[in-house]
Amino acid sequence: MDLKFNGKTALITGGSKGIGAAIATTLAEEGTQVAIVNRAGPEGPALVKTIESRGGKALFLAADLCHLENCHSVVEETLSAFGGLDIVINNAGVNDGVGIDAGPEEFLASIQRNLTHVYAVTHHSIAALRKSRGVIINIGSKVSVTGQGKTSGYAAAKGGILGLTREWAVDFAEHGIRVNAVLPAETWTPLYDKWLKTLPDPSAMKDQIEKMIPFEHRFTTTQELADMVVFLASPRSSHTTGQIIFVDGGYTHFDRKYTSSESCQTD
């Protein structure tokens, strides 16, 4: 299927690792110019090199988006490099474990890490998106609708992202801008792997989690997330806006009797 990107430009926050890297790579393969925003590190330049070796166009912008001036500068640098902006993908964030006992200052810091930059990057992008009749895709989390425990800041931020998705879908409809959110649940990323390796028995925990994922009893891949995001960003999804779409193998919404220990038998 031709997704009809035709040289469009995308800005992806948190774009050099995990889900963000898969989105950036897939967009580039479809002919999109990609600006990859992440904190400084070797992964970003390496990803740009990989994309360019395959004939794509990419730019790495090293920035900590907790500093609001960087939210403006990465948009300006993208516009300067590529001449326009068609797609904004707000992916940056981290489940930082800031719970109710952490206190108000840590809570505000978690909101800054996970929500404020979503508003700020979009704010600075909106003039360009109005010109291009562009697309915004926010990467949320199942925590925003299920709760998880011991992560008040992250849960509040991801809940805020859902609210902004619907709010912006209304605000920007008159400008032809579509806004949607994609929510992962248990997705296999380098960060997830790193967390499992801190546990006494990583293999047993991974097996336990996989048994709770109804469809095929396995983690969602970053490519599966990326494929949904790229489709929603494309003109092939031209009448889809204000939607909250789960890519999670049924983890969030299947009846819990399906994932009880008695039912979680794999072939």
Residue range 15-42: mean pLDDT, rounded: 98
Residue range 170-198: mean pLDDT, rounded: 96
Identify whether the C-beta of residue 36 lies closer than 8 Å to the C-beta of residue 47: yes
| 257 — pLDDT class (breaks 50, 70, 90) | confident
**Is 258 a known active-site residue?**
no
- The predicted pLDDT at position 256 comes to 76
| The domain over range 9-259 is classified in CATH as 3.40.980.10 | no
Q: From the candidates 119, 154, 192, 251, give the one annotated as an active-site residue.
A: 154
Q: How far is CA 254 from the centre of its chain?
A: 23
